[in-house]
Amino acid sequence: MAVDGAVAPAGRDLAALRRPVRTRITVAAGSQALAAMLAVTPAVILVEIARRLLGGGDRPVWGLAWLAVGLLFARFVLYAVAGLLSHLADADLAHLLRTRLTGQLGALPLSWFAGGVSGQVRAVVQDDVATLHHAVAHARADLAAAIAGPLVVVGYLLWVDWPLALVTIALVALAQAIRMRLAVRAGDQRARMAAANTEFTAAVLEGVRGIVELKAFAGDGPPARLRTAAADYVDADEQAQRIFLRPRGIARATVAPSTVVFVVTGLGVALVGAGWSDPVDLVAFALLGVGLFEQLTPIYLAQQLRESARDAAGRITTLLREPPQPTVAPERARVPGTPLTVELDDVHFTYPDGHAVLHGVSATLAPGTVTALVGPSGAGKSTLATLVARFADVTGGAIRLGGVDLRELDRDELYRHVAFLLQDSVLLTRSIRDNIALAAPAATDDAVHAAARAAAIDERLRALPRGYDSVVGADAHLSGGEAQRVAIARTLLADTPIVLLDEATAFADPDSEAAIADALAELAVGRTVLVIAHRLYTITAVDQILVLDEGRLVERGRHGDLLAAGGRYAALWAAQQGSATTSPTDPADPASPADPTSPTEPADPARTEGAR
């Protein structure tokens, strides 16, 4: 019952996905069924020609011969029509599904993509849609042909000589019974092999991704997980062969051409000798009875592929059913007022699994100011920042931009005002120019170059093989720091008044960090900046610091005030600065040895006068 309950929804999912092309698939199936029936008629006509020739008389046979040729031609036409209709339907459905999936991905909240789902998305959009090919282009037509053809053959053989027909059917039925029993026994073994194959694939990928670590620490031999996974897969395959070898051999031997010919001929000769059969009838069984079993094979192949298609349809449907981010109707959409103040009003956030991350955070980001979010790992800093960019919606309270709740803003309207720059910025496989002008495709070359100069990356880009026309990953190979500066240029060109920074220099080397910091200083000029800071020396001169701990706002203020308060921020600072914080000098004093603005530290946008 559980299995049936699981199969039925999957079958409904597959049927629902195929609904737009169902008519064409049905017509294609009917055409292929007729083609299968016509494929039998030349052999039938050949038997009738032999009957006339061996029976004597002067009845002409050329008419029958030309009829066979005509029917054979009609069969080719019907088969071509079936193939054309079904493959066009498959292409249209693949385009439709990928369009729907692309639209669905665009409607999902950005937080949905934070869970490492790129592999899952690729598998669904590419592999699972491709898996539907057989279910759409072949399954129904092949099934119709596999039923119609054998029905015509059996009907004709019963009409010709029913005793011989029953013997032939009995042989086929015996082989089919063995095959069906094998299909039932194969279920568990196929599941074991699939699990072993999945583990083996995962072990191979792990080995490739961690090849440096494996060679450095585990020697030159294959990792233990890969050896174990390979052995398990081989064991599962060998066990499957042992289980299926004998029954499969018996089934094949039962309906082998030599077996069918021997049994039918032996019995047929006896019936002819007894005067119960016509010798010509043996020709029909020799021509048609031998291939009867193989005509049924597509039924089983179609069933196996149909199960794969059902699984793929289930995954596609699951993705299409993911709840999209709520949108506001155009007539109800609002426009942020001025000034563009960001208000966090008693913000709560809980993940769908019930894990609460933020508890009543309230703060105000005044226009043109720099605010830093700090706190220990897991405090909720990134979650809070991404809520401002509406990666997800708050589960309690509200976030307002210019007095308007983010949930009342059209998403395009929101991103005209808010941009975000993450630790590991992604560049698309396009030209450098297109990457910078992503938010402003109509931007002039002068504007693109100006943004790159402001981001301190112009000279490096001009040195590429084709300059700004170089394609990322093809003839533009940039370091992490250089890619980050291209992303900063992109953000500069977007010219949003609010920018969210997630420790943009976190993974940069010292030289790149200084260049990125200079570029960020340019980016911060005249904008409202919310920065997630892990290295506290970079935010000593910001306008306000929000200290989060276990999802709660525990402190707020400027650097010097928070140090004097001796609370959570002071503890974090002490942990990072070590013995430097024990100096009696004032950390805010430019002459202090612990002063983060000293020349030994990289420049930071939040500590420049222009940033505020």
Residue 401: per-residue pLDDT: 93
Closest alpha carbon to 142 in 35, 265, 24: 35
Q: How far apart are CA 74 and CA 381, in angstroms?
A: 71
Residue recorded with tokens 């992503």: 438
Residues 580 and 593 reside in one and the same domain: yes
Residues 93 and 220 reside in one and the same domain: no
Confidence of residue 2 (pLDDT cuts 50, 70, 90): very low
Q: Is 504 part of any domain?
A: yes
Could you read off the pLDDT of 71-117 as tens digits, one per residue? Answer: 888 889 998 999 899 889 889 989 999 999 988 888 888 777 766 66
Give the sheet arrangement for strand 544-549, strand by strand: 418-421, 498-502, 528-532, 370-374, 544-549, 552-557
Residue 255: per-residue pLDDT: 59
CB 9 within 8 A of CB 314: yes
Q: Is 374 part of any domain?
A: yes
Angle at 415 between CA 411 and CA 419, to 5 degrees: 145
Residue recorded with tokens 């805010």: 588
Q: Is 516 part of any domain?
A: yes
Confidence of residue 357 (pLDDT cuts 50, 70, 90): very high
In what helix (H) or strand (E) does residue 546 lie, and over which residues does it extend?
A: strand 544-549
Residues 254 and 125 reside in one and the same domain: no
Could you read off the pLDDT of 126-135 as tens digits, one per residue? Answer: 888 888 887 7
Residues 416 and 509 reside in one and the same domain: yes
Residue 364 one-letter amino acid: T
Could you read off the pLDDT of 361-387 as tens digits, one per residue? Answer: 999 999 989 999 999 988 999 899 989
Q: What's the mean pLDDT in 454-458?
A: 88
Read off the pTM. Answer: 0.64
Q: What are phi and psi of 540, to 5 degrees?
A: -70, -20
Confidence of residue 232 (pLDDT cuts 50, 70, 90): confident
Burial zone of 417 (CB within 10 Å; 0-12 exposed, 13-18 middle, 19+ buried): middle
Residue 180 one-letter amino acid: M
What is the DSSP annotation of 371-423?
EEEE-STTSSHHHHHHHHTTSS--SEEEEEETTEEGGGS-HHHHHTTEEEE-S
Residues 125 and 185 reside in one and the same domain: no
Q: Is 464 part of any domain?
A: no
More confident residue, 570 or 508: 570
Residues 155 and 167 reside in one and the same domain: no
Closest alpha carbon to 604 in 544, 510, 539: 539
Q: Is 480 part of any domain?
A: no
CATH of the domain at 538: 3.40.50.300
Q: How far apart are CA 78 and CA 39, in angstroms?
A: 11
CB 322 within 8 A of CB 108: yes
SS3 555: strand
Q: Is 185 part of any domain?
A: yes
Residues 150 and 36 reside in one and the same domain: yes
Residues 200 and 220 reside in one and the same domain: yes
Q: Is 173 part of any domain?
A: yes
Residue 79 one-letter amino acid: Y
Residues 85 and 97 reside in one and the same domain: yes
Other Cβ atoms within 10 Å of 424 Cβ, number: 12
Which DSSP letter does residue 326 get?
P
Q: Which residues span the domain enclosing 6? A: 1-106+115-160+296-322
Residues 175 and 149 reside in one and the same domain: no
Cα 192 to Cα 206, 238, 312: the distances in Å are 21, 12, 19
Peptide bond into 339 cis (omega under 30): yes
Residues 393 and 364 reside in one and the same domain: yes
Domain count, the chain: 3
In what helix (H) or strand (E) does residue 361 lie, and over which residues does it extend?
A: strand 356-365
Residues 171 and 83 reside in one and the same domain: no
- Per DSSP, helices labelled H in 321-410 are 381-388
- Report the chain's mean pLDDT, rounded to a whole number: 79
In what helix (H) or strand (E) does residue 531 lie, and over which residues does it extend?
A: strand 528-532
Residue 347: per-residue pLDDT: 95
Mean pLDDT is highest, among 11-15, 264-268, 310-314, 488-492, for 488-492
* % of the chain exceeding 70 in pLDDT: 78
